[in-house]
Structure 1
C-alpha cells in the first residue's frame, strides 16, 4: 500500500472491514508485514511496543470489532458521537454508520498503539502526530464514495454540487491553497485594517503606522504594538468591532504599530539582527521621538513579543530602558515546551533548513501556512475538502480566516537563526548566551512591569509556556508581572472584544511560581480579558494630555494613509 497517497490509504483501509477475519488479518499485519502505515512509522523510528501490551491492545480491539460486527448483522445502528458523523445520513443508515464506527474504532486502536510505543518523549510525540495526521486523512467523510451527505447533495442538486466542487478544487489548485473563506468579500484597507491613521516612516524592514486619536485627551506615553512577522499585522485590526488597535485608541492611547514588510528577493539575506536593530529598536526610537516621550508602552504578540523582548534586552545592554510597561500576548521566551510544533524541530530538520536557506533565500509563506494548518487538519483542511469539493459549497466570509490565508514569507537567514537559537537550543532565556545586534542578550535586565497573556487551548504557544516568562522577566521584583489566562486558542483567545462579552478568563493576584498552582488558585471571570489589560496599561501610561492633532513629526512626515503598502503585498 502506498502510505503517501490518501486515496490509496482510504481504499485499503475501507477494504479491511468486510468481516472480522479481515480485521484480524489487518491487526496482525502491524508487527509482521509493514502493510499498515503505523508499522512503517515504527520501523523508521527504530522503536517498538512491549509484546504484552500489544497483545492486550489487539485483544481489546478484536473484542470491539466482533461486537461492532454483531451489531451490524442484527441491523443495530452503532452509536456515534463524533461531530463529523452527526447528520442523519451517517446516523440512520447501517452501512454508513458502520463505516464511521469502524473508522473511529480503528483510529482509537492506532492511537493506543502510538501511545504504547517505547520511545523518548519527543520521538513518541512525532509518532503520535504522524498517526493522527494519517487518521484524519483517512476519515470516510473525506471521500465522495463514503460520504452520504455529499452523495445526497449530488442527487438533490441534480449533479450541480459535483460540478461546482470540481470547479472549486481546480481554483484552489491554481491558488496553491484551500479556500477557507470567501476571499472576494474582503479587501485590506477597505473592510479589514480600516482604523484611520498614517504611515509616518518606512525602511526595508517595516512601515510605522500612527493612528488617529478617538479621544480629546490621551495618555502621555504612547503605545507601540509589534505584531508577528509571520503573519500580517491586521489580525490586530480586523474590523472596528473586533480591533485590538481601535480598542486601545478608544481607551485613550496614542497607538503606533509596526507593519512588517512581506519579504521578497531583496530581503533574502535579512537576519534576525536586522529585525531587532532595523525593526523593533528603530520603531521604539521613532515612537519616542514622535511622541516626545522617553518612556513608552511596548506591546508584542506571538513572535512579535519575542522580537520586542529581544530588542528591549539589547537596549538594556546599551544602558537604555525605554519601556514604561511591556505587554506580551501568547509569546515564547522560554522554548522548553513548544507544544505540537516540537514535531517539526530537531537537529536534522533545522540543519536541512540551514543548508537550504541559511545563507540566503525565502521561506515561502504557503509552506508556513501548511505547517500551521497541519496542527488542526480537521478544522483547517478536511472540513473544507468536504464542504468546498465534495459538496460544492462556497465558504462563508470570515475576516479571521481571510487573514489566516494571507500568509507572509520569511528571510532564510532570519528564519534559520530563529529555529536554532530558540526552538532547538532554547538559548534566548539564558542570560548572556546569545549576541544580537552586537550585545549580549539578558532578558532579566528588562526593567518594566509586564502583562503576560496566554490562551488556554493554544496549540502554538501552550499557556504554560507563556506563563514561563513570569520567571524570566523581573526575577528580583516580585509583583511587577501580571499573568492573565484567556479561553480558546492562539488567535481566537486574543481577538475577544470586550463589547461582545464572550468566553471567560482567569486571573490570580497571588504570587504563585508554577503554572498549575497558579490556575488551581485563580479566579474565573466571564467575558473578555481586554479590560484587565486596559487597566494595567493605564497604570503605567502616564498622565492625560491633549491628543495630538497631526501625524508624525518634523522629521517623520506622513507618507501614505494607513494601512500602507507593505501589508497589501501577498506572498502568493
Structure 2
C-alpha cells in the first residue's frame, strides 16, 4: 500500500511539474501570501509606499512639463546600467520618453514594494521580487508595437516586411521545436568539423564518459598532463569551440599534454547513476588511465561549473585517502559552498525539489529544456524578450555563433545524480559543512593542500563569484583567484586578443589569512586582456621541466586509441 501511495503522489507531482515547467505553484503561493500578509499588517510600510508612489508621480509630471516646454530635460530616472532596452535615441522623442519614464519609475516602485518588508522570509522576498520583475519585463513597452518607436520605425522602413519575416522565423522555429531539431544556423557549426575539432584520440570509454587525449603541438611538453573535468549539464566542447577561441587548443599550443572528459548524455536507462558514480567513473577513472598512458606521478586537474564541484569532492576524497597524485586543482566558475548560490537559489527549496524530483522520477532524467528555461528566466531581458522582439517583430535573426550553437546542444541529467546534487549540495550544503560522503566516508575541503587556481566571472548568474570565492574560508591551501569580465560562459571563453576583456587577480598564500570577497576586491590587481596566459604561467610554475610528449594512448597496457576526437558521446542527442 505504501508503494502505491508513493507512486500516486509522485505521478501527481510529475503531472503538475509538466504543466508548470518544473516551477512549484506552492512555493509561489507561499511567497506571495507571506509578502501580502506582512504588507497588510504594516501600516507604516503602506504609508511609505504611498508617499513613494506620490513622489514618483510628481517626478513624472515635472519631467512631462519640462519636456512639453521644448527643452531637453534631465530624465526623472535612468535605466540600470545593464538595461539596454531604451538605449535608442527614438525613446527620447515625445510621447515615448514619457512611456519609458513611467515604466522605469513603476519598476523602481515595485522593487521597493517587494523588498524590505518586515517579517517576510528572505527566500520568499527574493521569489516575490523575481516574479514581479518577470511580469514587468513581460509588459515592458519595448515588447509592443504601439509603444515601441524603434519597432514602429522598422515597420515603416520595411513596409511591414519585417513582421512577415518575423512570422516566417517564428513558424520555422516552432517547426524545429516540434521536430526536436536544433536551432536555425547551428548546422554551420558541426561538431568535429567547425567546433570540437582539436586533433586527438579517444583513449578510454566507460558508461559515463569518454576520455580524449589531444595530440601534442609542440616538440616538448610539461611532464604533468592536464585533466579537464567539464560539467555534464553541458557538452565539453565549450572549451574547444572554434580554433581561434578553443581553450583546449590553446593549452596544447602552450606545451601541455591535455586530456578532457566527454560525458555520456544520459537517458532513462541511466536513471540510477548518482554523484558517486560520476566521481568514480569520471575523474577517478581518468586519473588512473592518464597515469598509465603518461607514466607521470602528478596531474594538474581543472573543473568547470558542476564539473569543478565534482573535482573538489574528488580532490578532498583523495586527500583524505592520502592519494597525492594531483599537482594542482583549477576551478572555473565552480561552487563548493552553496549558502548563497545567487538567483539560481530561487528554484531550490523543498517544494521545488519535490516537484523536480517527481518529474525526473517519471522520466528517469531532467531534460535540457527544463534547465534552459530556468537559465533564461534569470536573464529574461537579454535571453528571452529582447530576442523575441528582434527576431519575431523586427524580423532580424541574430547571426549564429559557435557559443550560441554550443548552448543549443543540450544535455540531460540522470534522476539519482541530480536529485542528490540539488538536495545534498544546494539545499543542505553538505559539502562545505563536512557531511558529504564519498567512498562511504565524509570528505572535508579543509584537507585540500595542493595549490588552487580559481576563476570567477563578474556577471555570473549560475555561480556568482562571491559564492565561488568562499573556498578561501574552507581550506588553508594556496589560492590564486581571478575575477574576469563576462558571465558564466563568455567569461571563461576569453581567448587572448578578445576585445574589451579585463580581470582582477590576487593570491592567498598557504595558511595565510582568508580575505572576504570585499577585502579581496580591494587588494586585487586589475589587468587588461585575457586571464588564460595568467593560468598557463601559474601552471608552469607548478610543473617540471619540459620533455618529449607521451604516446597517444597505451596499446601495450590495454588503452589503445578507440577513435578520433571528439568521439561518440558528444554526438548523442
TM-score range, shorter chain: 0.7 to 0.9
Contact 2:365/2:413, CA 8 A, preserved across alignment: yes
Check 1:175–1:110 CA distance in 2 against 1; reply closer, same or farther (3 A cut). Answer: farther
Equivalent position to 1:460, from 459, 462, 467 = 462
Aligned counterpart, 2:567: 564
- C-alpha displacement of 1:465: 1.4
**Residue pairs, 1:236-315, within 5 angstroms:** 236-315=239-318
SS at 1:452's partner residue? strand
Tell me how far apart the structure 1 counterparts of residues 86 and 373 of structure 2 sit (CA, whole Å).
Answer: 25
> In the alignment, which residue of structure 2 is the partner of 1:379?
382
Contact 2:212/2:566, CA 8 A, preserved across alignment: yes
SS in structure 2 of the partner of residue 468 of structure 1: helix
Deviation at 1:58, TM superposition (A): 2.1
User: C-alpha separation between the residues in 2 aligned to 1:152 and 1:460?
Assistant: 37
Q: d(CA) in 1 for partners of 2:30 and 2:156?
A: 40
Are the counterparts in 2 of residues 42 and 48 from structure 1 also a CA contact under 8 Å?
A: no
Question: TM-score scaled by structure 1?
Answer: 0.86
* Aligned partner of residue 104 in structure 2, secondary structure: helix
Deviations 1:422-480 (CA, angstroms, capped at 9, x unpaired): 0000001233x22234343223333421112211222221212111112323x3x5xx2
1:309 CA displacement:
1.6
**What is the number of equivalent residue pairs in this alignment?**
527
State the Cα distance separating 1:515 from its structure 2 match.
Answer: 1.9
Q: What is the distance in 2 between the residues matched to 1:129 and 1:115?
A: 10
Q: TM-score under structure 2 normalisation?
A: 0.86
* Structure 2: gaps spanning 5 or more residues: 1-27
Cα distance in 2, alignment partners of residues 52 and 367 from structure 1: 41
Contact 1:154 1:161 in 2 (8 A): yes
Cα distance in 2, alignment partners of residues 174 and 397 from structure 1: 18
Q: How does 1:215-254 map to 2 (within 5 A)?
A: 215-254=218-257
Match of residue 446, structure 1, among 445, 448, 452? 448
Q: Which residue of 1 aligns with 2:19?
A: none
In structure 2, the residue matched to 1:200 is 203
C-alpha distance 156-360 of structure 1, shift in aligned 2 (>3 A): closer
Instruction: Give the distance between the partners of 2:527 and 2:117, measured in 1 at CA.
Output: 41
Match of 1:99 in 2: 99
Answer yes or no: is the 8 Å Cα contact 2:225–2:300 preserved in 1. Answer: yes
What is the rounded CA distance, in whole Å, between the counterparts of 2:87 and 2:317 in structure 1?
54
Work out the CA distance in 2 between the residues paired with 1:327 and 1:281. Answer: 16
Q: What's the offset of the Cα at 1:417?
A: 0.1
Deviation of 1:421 after TM superposition, in Å, equals 0.4
Does the 8 Å contact 1:456/1:489 carry over to 2? yes
**Deviation readout 1:347-377 (Å, 9 max, x if unpaired):** 1211233344358711010110111111111
Deviation readout 1:259-305 (Å, 9 max, x if unpaired)? 11111222122211111111221111111111111211111111111
- Give the match for residue 85 of structure 1: 86
Deviation of 1:173 after TM superposition, in Å, equals 2.7
Q: Distance in 1 between matches of 2:135 and 2:230?
A: 34
1:42 is matched with which residue? 32
Q: 1:47–1:535: structure 2 CA closer, same or farther, 3 Å change rule?
A: farther
- What residue is the counterpart of 1:325 in the other structure? 328
> SS in structure 1 opposite 2:221?
strand
| CA shift for structure 1 position 117 | 2.2
**Structure 2 Cα separation of the partners of residues 324 and 249 of structure 1:** 18
Aligned to 2:60: 68
- Cα distance between partner residues in 2 of 1:315 and 1:355: 34
Relative distance call for 1:70 and 1:112 in structure 2 (3 A) is same
Structure 2 counterpart of 1:23: none
- Which secondary structure state, in structure 2, belongs to the residue aligned with residue 546 of structure 1? coil
* Runs (5+) with no aligned partner, structure 1: 1-37
1:110 aligned residue: 110
Q: Which residue of structure 2 lines up, in the alignment, with residue 171 of structure 1?
A: 172
Give how far 1:162 is off.
Answer: 1.0
Matched with 1:398 is 401
Please name the residue that 1:213 is paired with: 216
Superposition RMSD in Å: 2.5
- 1:75 Cα deviation (Å)? 3.3
Alpha-carbon spacing, 1:446–1:359, altered in 2? closer, same or farther (3 Å): farther
